[in-house]
Structure 1
């Protein structure tokens, strides 16, 4: 792929750092300009043909990078005579983009991503556009992306909307693979917003615009506070460790009785109440470098007590409540099946044996493939012997919590590696073991 980096903008919020002597993308993070980090990451991914769109103080960028040969890449420049927004330059770049698609990067973002995975996803979906999306710690004031079951984007949920509903923590990170055809949708010389003027109309027309979800590191560093945070996360190795070329550690979490209060079969959002220690527990996981992924059996669907959309709404409530407190889950998977038949209201579509219902390991295997998880360094936390047997079957370390059913379900004769009072205590003990 070629990469186009939008490296213009005055960076008003960074004036205390740039002093308006350098353009925003040349602000330093952990000893190097933001653009330098970007170029290094692109080169590491085999992307060596880069077009930089520059304007305000753009000569400082040209002087630093030249033609890119000293950085192992080839850089050409497009000067915007007047600011054209986040997409206005694309019309004029059509003749410089050689392939059918290209990577679009904004110059105030730090990222470390396994780009081949995202590119393969884009190709497999035959997408016009692929947006990198992820959960973040402040979804309540972020623009959200809403997708269908096939990860196709069906609408955008503006941060300005009054959200009197539960929502999925799925945020557009501002990092794209775009078909060259999209350039033709931009009018020449007109200031154009990529999301508002290009992507939203495509989504409204039900065109092939998809969301690529990943837990890898990508952060807008457009304020001094964010630069400080990103510098620390680069220096302590957190940024590089999240790249999916590297094996990931994960804490898999059961839902009912572990993350939320045990209330039997939950089929309505009103019955979902977080355990008192859940928020702090997820916060500790988020800061640790482990992924936090919920895997849960939800036979209420098979029993006909609710449908899949009801479960997704309950999970959106879970993500909303956590997001309000600045914590997040990297993924949530559930099994709607149940093998036993005979309930009067049951849904026969889901009355099947499957590989995803715990203690089967299908949900874990899906995550291992998706996130390159190292089973030998990962855990499962749950309140039943089913959860512990699932962990044993998958090769995980196991922690039983004494909330919910507290291991008294009696399904399996199995012993966990840890027994803890609640999810927070379990996380604390896991992280202490990690330190040894």
Structure 2
């Protein structure tokens, strides 16, 4: 792309009476000069624009606008750009004011004066070339779509504008004009000189009526209206937390990919959600999305929607259902940066099915096309990204995409092996399984703190060790050992260590093969451990039979572990520090938690497995008497004892 295509001009609309901000300005300075974390917002805007290549800024002032030129002159000289200030004699609205300026050649970025933003203008320029239009509306999802203007787009162009004052009979997709636009000469020529006009209420509807193309640029970058005291305070906090530039498209960041039904909203069964009223959030789902976004992760939903192919709803109906989901999440501050959906389904025979959508495709999970599409469109840092799902299809998609895959016990609860595609030779295995999406996000936000201490100790030992370091992580059932082992695995992997986490639970004897008098060591098949460790030391390879914790039965296929290039091997299991292999282990860690925590986790876990409270309590008592004494013997020989009382399981 040549430099002649770049956006070099900007107009900042800094007029208006500043009524919302009057408690902050005291009506003695224009709102554009209101400090935001110590710097007037208009200076923050101009510095961002200059960094992005803008060379000429025209500022349209209004109330108290005479103060702008003296304040901006030194900034223009420092940045080496041209800044001109024009003061309206009388207010003409957010679009009418533009007619007081001369029309210049080339695209112009229009910015509302109370917007804190940080966007990649080179990416915006590329979008302008791909979607030529008289006007491009820069839009984003926000945390209050039901009280915001909304744009409805199709194939990159505006189809409908929904001003916030207009009554709505349903929820629409969460896509909100951000107060930034790119305008061409065609747009400026459509304005009526001297006529009061508002961008949202007058000009854009008029252009739509005339079928003038208006493009929509949907970006997850930072854009926030700071015009009211609450929003001003929120923007200052975002600056303190360094969230503003962190969302710029040049900055790669990890993503949390969410499945929807069974993860964010309740699985309604049958053919899934076919009406917005069926959307009911799972407990704390909105908080989970908010927590992920506040921590700096991209929040992306990837969802199979076969209802469209089956003819139970069209894409407009799907938009309303997804709009309801977005609006409900936003009530708790949860904002999804993007939603990708697959409308296909391979099976035929539905009365109103859409023939063109009845295909085998690469986007339907466990296919990973939706994830790969997100990675091609957004600056996703793959190595730290995760998918959270309730179905084995979600786990399979994560595996194919090469990201961490976490299951939840809501929805299917990963108990859908029978419906998993038979062409797959093995059932995918989640890296961890959590009770809810909120727990999974909490782990994603905090795994580094959980695993950093042991990772540091392992790194110190590695410098003195030839070959892979073998570390056992053991402890009572539900103590948090697998959570801890995986956290260590991730932290070490991020320091370029090659880590193999071997889950000894894969060798557990399925329920149907257990005898009534078997003890915990026999159920765990501890007698195989010396050979497993020997094979890892000797050839670096070992194959595990499949065990399904949900059904307590055998999974389809086996799991091959390859440690030939590993720097660290983490043995994860209740007997990973067993006396029969202790001398072959370089470092042993015993993980513990209080009996109260273990009890709560145990009952939740076995409820997921289908046990009644009475049956779970009987099993709990037997574990205390028969299993715990055997497990606790490992504590005395452990190198490190760690309490994970607050760990998320």
TM-score (ref. length: structure 2): 0.64
Contact kept, 8 Å, 1:267 with 1:310, in 2: the verdict is: no
Of 245, 253, 258, the match for 2:250: 245
1:94-121 per-residue CA deviation (whole Å, 9 max, x = no partner) reads: 34x232x211011111101112212221
Which residue in 2 is equivalent to 1:141? Answer: 147
The total of aligned residue pairs comes to: 433
| 1:366 match: secondary structure | helix
Is 1:397 the counterpart of 2:407? The answer is no
| 2:160 match: secondary structure | strand
Judged with a 3 Å threshold, the aligned counterparts in structure 2 of structure 1 residues 59 and 350 are, in CA distance, closer, same or farther, namely same
Contact kept, 8 Å, 1:376 with 1:396, in 2: the verdict is: yes
Higher alpha-carbon deviation: 345-354 or 136-145: 345-354
- Greater relative contact order, per chain length (Cα 8 Å cut-off, separation 6+): 1
Which residue in 1 is equivalent to 2:366? Answer: 359
User: For 1:416 and 1:140, how far apart are their aligned partners in 2?
Assistant: 36
Is 1:425 the counterpart of 2:436? The answer is no
Which residue in 2 is equivalent to 1:91? Answer: 99
Which residue in 1 is equivalent to 2:570? Answer: none
Which residue in 1 is equivalent to 2:598? Answer: none
Higher alpha-carbon deviation: 215-224 or 304-313: 304-313
User: For 2:330 and 2:435, how far apart are their aligned partners in 1?
Assistant: 24
Which residue in 1 is equivalent to 2:393? Answer: 386
Which residue in 2 is equivalent to 1:31? Answer: 38
Judged with a 3 Å threshold, the aligned counterparts in structure 2 of structure 1 residues 17 and 306 are, in CA distance, closer, same or farther, namely closer
| 1:165 match: secondary structure | coil
Which residue in 1 is equivalent to 2:274? Answer: 268
| 1:86 match: secondary structure | helix
Q: CA RMSD in A?
A: 1.9
User: For 1:245 and 1:291, how far apart are their aligned partners in 2?
Assistant: 13
User: For 1:301 and 1:193, how far apart are their aligned partners in 2?
Assistant: 38
User: For 1:404 and 1:24, how far apart are their aligned partners in 2?
Assistant: 49
User: For 2:216 and 2:432, how far apart are their aligned partners in 1?
Assistant: 37
Is 1:234 the counterpart of 2:235? The answer is no
Is 1:154 the counterpart of 2:159? The answer is yes
| 2:335 match: secondary structure | coil
Choose 1 or 2 for highest CA Rg.
2
Higher alpha-carbon deviation: 233-242 or 341-350: 341-350
Of 212, 223, 230, the match for 1:218: 223
| 2:307 match: secondary structure | coil
* Structure number having the greater helix percentage: 2
Which residue in 2 is equivalent to 1:17? Answer: 24
Contact kept, 8 Å, 2:66 with 2:87, in 1: the verdict is: no
Judged with a 3 Å threshold, the aligned counterparts in structure 2 of structure 1 residues 281 and 61 are, in CA distance, closer, same or farther, namely same
Of 66, 73, 76, the match for 2:81: 73
* Matches for 1:36-435 after TM superposition, within 5 Å: 36-66=43-73, 68-95=76-103, 97-99=104-106, 101-147=107-153, 149-264=154-269, 265-269=271-275, 270-341=277-348, 346-410=353-417, 411=420, 412-435=426-449
Question: What is the CA distance between 1:396 and its match in structure 2?
Answer: 1.0
Contact kept, 8 Å, 1:301 with 1:307, in 2: the verdict is: yes
List gaps (5 residues or longer) in structure 1: none
User: For 1:151 and 1:331, how far apart are their aligned partners in 2?
Assistant: 14
Question: What is the CA distance between 1:342 and its match in structure 2?
Answer: 5.5
User: For 1:213 and 1:368, how far apart are their aligned partners in 2?
Assistant: 15
User: For 1:289 and 1:215, how far apart are their aligned partners in 2?
Assistant: 11
Question: What is the CA distance between 1:399 and its match in structure 2?
Answer: 0.7
List gaps (5 residues or longer) in structure 2: 1-6, 421-425, 451-649
| 1:154 match: secondary structure | strand
Contact kept, 8 Å, 1:94 with 1:183, in 2: the verdict is: no
TM-score (ref. length: structure 1): 0.94
Judged with a 3 Å threshold, the aligned counterparts in structure 2 of structure 1 residues 433 and 89 are, in CA distance, closer, same or farther, namely same
Question: What is the CA distance between 1:83 and its match in structure 2?
Answer: 2.1
Question: What is the CA distance between 1:344 and its match in structure 2?
Answer: 6.3
User: For 1:158 and 1:89, how far apart are their aligned partners in 2?
Assistant: 20
User: For 1:253 and 1:9, how far apart are their aligned partners in 2?
Assistant: 41
| 1:132 match: secondary structure | strand
| 2:405 match: secondary structure | strand
